[in-house]
Amino acid sequence: MISALTPREPSEAQRRVADLLAAARSAVVLTGAGISVPSGIPDFRTPVTGMWANVDPMQIAHIDVWRREPERFWSFYAQRFHLLGPAEPNEAHRAVAELQRRGLIGPIITQNIDRLHAKAGADDIVEMHGSISHGRCLACGAQVAYDPLTQRIAAADNGVPRCDCSAPLKPGVVLFGEMLDAEAIERAFDACQQADLILVIGSSLEVHPVAGLPAIVLERGGELVLTTQGPTPYDDVATERLGGDVVDELAGVLTALG
């Protein structure tokens, strides 16, 4: 349960979102970087502070860079592991987990790799871009969990973690230049094809194919709720739009649900 926030009177928009969730036969949640900002994780596009504000991801976080220059790749990507690994879920993550616990939503489809939905207690999560929870060996197929992987990074003279078979390990995330996992795509599309409500939280809905998921629900006559501070391509067709702080907005929705 959410308990860290002082309850406040929900806004009319928050009450309407609560009503939509309560009435939905099948609801899904789609989250992006904005839900993790209150946990101290920068988003991607904000000037100066964004994850990719000062580097070109195509030149450093691309699968070809990992293959050709694993030392250069890991000199950058190890920083992401050290930033994301210790992060803790915020009240927005916990609110989403609570909605799932109450049976008001089904799968949580996330663009994030930070594991925070799982840490918050959610248990039906589709990680579209993979996760930092492990590293993978493309040579033998082995997986190495987060803690031993970071230990291998620290122990390596050149910072490149290696599998027991000696091949360099790759993060368990989808890098630039890679295809999304087919199973994750299928699960996400199936969930949206059955949903009559999609609640989008903290995503600008600019990256495909994830950006196309709300359209699947809308084409079925379903409802779209946006909870994000920035503009999206769906602003004009959303049933409701909550544009304030993501923690405050979701706390208000939970309060309205009672």
CB 202 within 8 A of CB 242: no
Tokens for 196, please give them. Answer: 């009559």
Q: How far apart are the first and last CA of the chain?
A: 11
Residues 6+ apart with CB under 8 A from 106: 26, 27, 28, 100, 124, 191, 195
- Measure Cα distances from 46 to 59, 81, 82, 83, 256 in Å: 19, 20, 21, 17, 31
Nearest to 129 by CA among 83, 190, 173: 173
The active-site residue, picked from 82, 129, 134, 208, is: 129
Measure CA 255 to chain center: 24
Nearest to 174 by CA among 53, 77, 106: 77
3-class DSSP string for 218-257? HHCCCEEEEECCCCCCCCCCCCEEECCCHHHHHHHHHHHH
Catalytic status, residue 82: no
Q: How many CB atoms lie within 10 A of CB 247?
A: 20
Q: Which residue is it, tokens 């993060």?
A: 171
Residue type, 41: I
Which residues does the annotation mark as catalytic? 129
